[in-house]
Chain A
Amino acid sequence: MRRIISVLLENEPGALSRVVGLFSQRNYNIETLTVAPTEDETLSRLTVTTTGSDKVIEQITKQLNKLIEVVKLVDLTEGAHIERELMLIKLKATGSQRAEIKRTVDIFRGQIVDVTSSVYTVQLAGDSEKLDGFIQAVGTSGVLEVVRSGVSGIARGEKVLSL
């Protein structure tokens, strides 16, 4: 099953490589990985999406917790949560395509953030499925370039991941 694991990590050089090293060393999957500093400058927040059996996921969280620089972590998929991914996508847009793409962007509640006579650059945020859905809707033949941020997530309601 797909899981979103959110980690508070000491904001120190080398900490990220330990996390990434752990995944490859123990043969765990990484589907997406995002990392950035938090409001507390001593901490980074890392979100990793991975797949595996319950047993593998249990090992992943335990092994992550064993890393000295991992301060706290939560498997967001264990409860209600919000996940978001940002996509920037460049689409071929000429003639009648332009109106068609504009309509699709509106339906997906994206924004056209850059325009040339033949290209639209679209910004879209949502869960990963929505982004996949958009690419499908516009058709891969018109896609010139895609960049996705990887998943960020947060629990719904009162629950917070903090010290």
Chain B
Amino acid sequence: MELLSGADMLIRSLQDEGIEYIYGYPGGAALHIYDALFRQDKVKHILVRHEQAAVHMADGYARATGKPGTVLVTSGPGATNTITGIATAFMDSIPMVVLCGQVASTLIGEDAFQETDMIGVSRPVVKHNLSVRHPEEIPEVIRKAYYIAATGRPGPVVVDIPKDMTTPNERYEYAYPKKVKLRSYNPAIRGHAGQIKKAVDMLLAARRPVIYAGGGVVLGKASDQLTELVRKLGYPITNTLMGIGCYPASDKQHLGWLGMHGTYEANMAMHHADLILAIGARFDDRVTNATEKFCPGARIIHVDIDPASISKTVEADVPIVGPVDAVLKEMLSLVKESKQKPDADAIAAWWKQIEEWRAFHGMRYETSDDVIKPQEVIEILHRLTNGEAFVTSDVGQHQMFAAQYYKFDKPNRWINSGGLGTMGFGLPAAMGVKLTHPDDEVLCITGEGSIQMNIQELSTCKQYNLPVKIINLNNQALGMVKQWQDMNYESRHSQSYMESLPDFIKLAESYGHKGVRIEKKAELESKLKEVLAMKDELVFVDIYVDRFEHVYPMQVARGSMKDMWLSKTERV
């Protein structure tokens, strides 16, 4: 057997795990590891400019590819800088492994230089964390970390590696384990057959059914199974912000996404449904509005890999714990076999009602002759990229506009921080996507507030030639905050105005990129075309959009699903 140092074992383990990229930033406690990294060329390291960005990059990579991302940082500040990124991944169940240097085990507890209890600090925002207690354990710990991160309900796993675990001149036998033994961790591999049968019977008997799909369908790679089942049944489907792309948005059975800024028809259909089939969704408060008023006439079937997601906020009538792809497949074959067919008249009447809701509102906004509306920027981008781009976003109004007006027909292409709502996510996430999808269009839809939270990554983009397109919907305000202040605080705009904005064009140029400013509506489309034609350039597109625009529909706070503002003046 080969003898390797702890640091070499770590890098070899990553190679054997099939890791292509790690995103990171060096420092004292990680230097043995960085040295081992230097002496090989299989695992490529991307040097970011802030550790938070390394985590979002790994996250973007994971969301686009479905494979776990990998981060490497040093102890103390390097490790604590990753926390926001880890929490972001945790809330959206994104698989990743974050390798953190730590002070030598002999110094732990002594307040040594750059010592932070990363196991303690990260505990509430990880799926699991592990510390290395002996160099020989490294291959097993790494294998475990990826296994836990990527299976069941995925999530981030932190590995804390004291410096003396990676000492160069202490060598041990290396073998990468094929399997992991974890007696206490056994994610379900299929759903309960009886429950699935019951669910299918209910589905076929429903008169006003809605299928409500979430990010779990994307994570569980079950879009095909879902699409086939939904088409077979002919029922309406809506999905969450995280589920975008799990079912083609251009299909007529798709009602758009639901919840706080969901479509009128999706929210109305949910409220009036008699049966809801929830798949890989978690009845989050941004979806349900007030739970006690949630869908009063509906019985609920809830399919999820995580039993704790079921009946957490809304009680399920038929809980099914299992991987979404396997459960959907079983449902489909039962639907096909069943002699019972959906009640055609009832379903037709239901669709008639839904079409009326659709016609009443659909997605609309007021256009203007001279001011650029943020929504139309997205619509044009959708058209110019044939709806095929990877779109990452930051957090705020621009995020909602992007999600509403870019119609995704495929999963893994809409990449945003849904659960934590992390401003600063968009650019590094786009970088993570672009790195592995060099031939695809990657757009980062952002706001002048959010982009400044990780703007330093323009430098990383230069170093690694990552020609993403940054679409800055510049409304010169923390727009979403301002909207809430308009609606709930009599327009007292406390600290929601962005003064002293930089000249983003010059800023982009100073990092060696291109910048384009768009102020006039007349030039919007032609300039966007020019931008998209610059295939090999990162272009920072600073677009001056309507400063007063609000995102609608918007559910009325503490109301039911159907209580919505449709514009500044219309409330239903």
A interface with B by C-beta (< 8 Å): 10, 14, 17-18, 21, 25, 55, 58-59, 62-63, 65-66, 68-72, 163
Q: Are A70 and B123 in contact (CB under 8 A)?
A: no
In the complex, what distance in Å separates the CA atom of A10 from the CA atom of B185? 12
Q: Are A65 and B119 in contact (CB under 8 A)?
A: no
Q: Output the nearest chain A residue to B185 by Cβ-Cβ distance.
A: A68
Q: Are A68 and B128 in contact (CB under 8 A)?
A: yes
Q: Are B308 and A17 in contact (CB under 8 A)?
A: no
Q: Are A21 and B185 in contact (CB under 8 A)?
A: no
Q: Are A68 and B148 in contact (CB under 8 A)?
A: yes
Q: Are A68 and B308 in contact (CB under 8 A)?
A: no
Q: Output the nearest chain A residue to B307 by Cβ-Cβ distance.
A: A62
| B306 in contact (CB, < 8 A) | yes
Produce 1/0 per residue, B116-140, CB < 8 A to A: 0001100110011101000000000
Nearest chain A CB to B60 CB, angstrom units: 26
List of A residues within 8 angstroms of B185 by Cβ: 68
**A55-B311 CB under 8 A given contacts A69-B184, A71-B184:** yes
Q: Are A21 and B184 in contact (CB under 8 A)?
A: no
B interface with A by C-beta (< 8 Å): 119-120, 123-124, 127-129, 131, 148, 182-185, 306-308, 311-312, 315
Q: Are A65 and B123 in contact (CB under 8 A)?
A: no
List of B residues within 8 angstroms of A65 by Cβ: 307-308
Nearest chain B CB to A52 CB, angstrom units: 13
In the complex, what distance in Å separates the CA atom of A10 from the CA atom of B245? 40
In the complex, what distance in Å separates the CA atom of A66 from the CA atom of B123? 13
Q: Are A68 and B184 in contact (CB under 8 A)?
A: yes
Q: Are B306 and A71 in contact (CB under 8 A)?
A: no
In the complex, what distance in Å separates the CA atom of A10 from the CA atom of B119? 17
Q: Are B182 and A17 in contact (CB under 8 A)?
A: no
Q: Output the nearest chain B residue to A72 by Cβ-Cβ distance.
A: B184
Nearest chain B CB to A15 CB, angstrom units: 10
Nearest chain A CB to B271 CB, angstrom units: 23
**A66-B308 CB under 8 A given contacts A17-B120, A18-B123, A21-B124:** yes
**A14-B119 CB under 8 A given contacts A62-B308, A66-B306, A71-B184:** yes
Q: Are A17 and B307 in contact (CB under 8 A)?
A: no
List of B residues within 8 angstroms of A18 by Cβ: 123
In the complex, what distance in Å separates the CA atom of A18 from the CA atom of B148? 16
Q: Output the nearest chain A residue to B152 by Cβ-Cβ distance.
A: A66
Q: Output the nearest chain A residue to B308 by Cβ-Cβ distance.
A: A62
In the complex, what distance in Å separates the CA atom of A65 from the CA atom of B308? 9
14 A-B pairs with C-beta separation under 8 A: A10-B184, A17-B120, A17-B123, A18-B123, A21-B123, A55-B311, A55-B315, A63-B308, A66-B307, A66-B308, A70-B184, A71-B183, A71-B184, A163-B183
